[in-house]
A and B are shown apart, each in its own frame.
Chain A
Amino acid sequence: SAVISQKPSRDICQRGTSLTIQCQVDSQVTMMFWYRQQPGQSLTLIATANQGSEATYESGFVIDKFPISRPNLTFSTLTVSNMSPEDSSIYLCSVDGGSGNQPQHFGDGTRLSIL
């Protein structure tokens, strides 16, 4: 299964600033996904990132707030822009398992706290 490295593992940021989270995979994957997990909550999909195309955002998430890059088949970034305390969450990236019916593999997540 794919090995996923996510950076940073945690950060504490000031209100109004932006932070970019990186997700690196050790093999080429078609789809990468970005999730938000608010404290004590389940995972909510932010967007799906395919290489060479614009990310597809879920309802309630917009590109201006969560711009995503997918420059190649092994890397993606998620930026959390103009942060407020409500953005304090764990952000996780995952990759598709390959043939569509394979389970997603997840990174270790980034714990983000906004002061």
Chain B
Amino acid sequence: GAVVSQHPSRVICKSGTSVKIECRSLDFQATTMFWYRQFPKQSLMLMATSNEGSKATYEQGVEKDKFLINHASLTLSTLTVTSAHPEDSSFYICSAATGQSYNEQFFGPGTRLTVL
């Protein structure tokens, strides 16, 4: 149980285009989902926290107008990278929490974004 999927697993796009990444909890309802970014040889950095039906909370330094997050249902959150640039190339990982505690998260397999 507690499986989280992401789609796509890998995406290559041209600079200036927008890319949408989906995060799904397959066998449980996730009241809270988290989006992380990982640059090469660096650890995961939290970008934002999204709660179903409400606006996402962004970490300091993360542009909310560039990284649009939608958590429309208890099993799906989407991250849209708008007007992507090469510096946005990174590994994006989502996680889902089953309850109120941040500390019971299940992680997705990640999405590799490459912006040319």
Indicate whether A and B interact: no
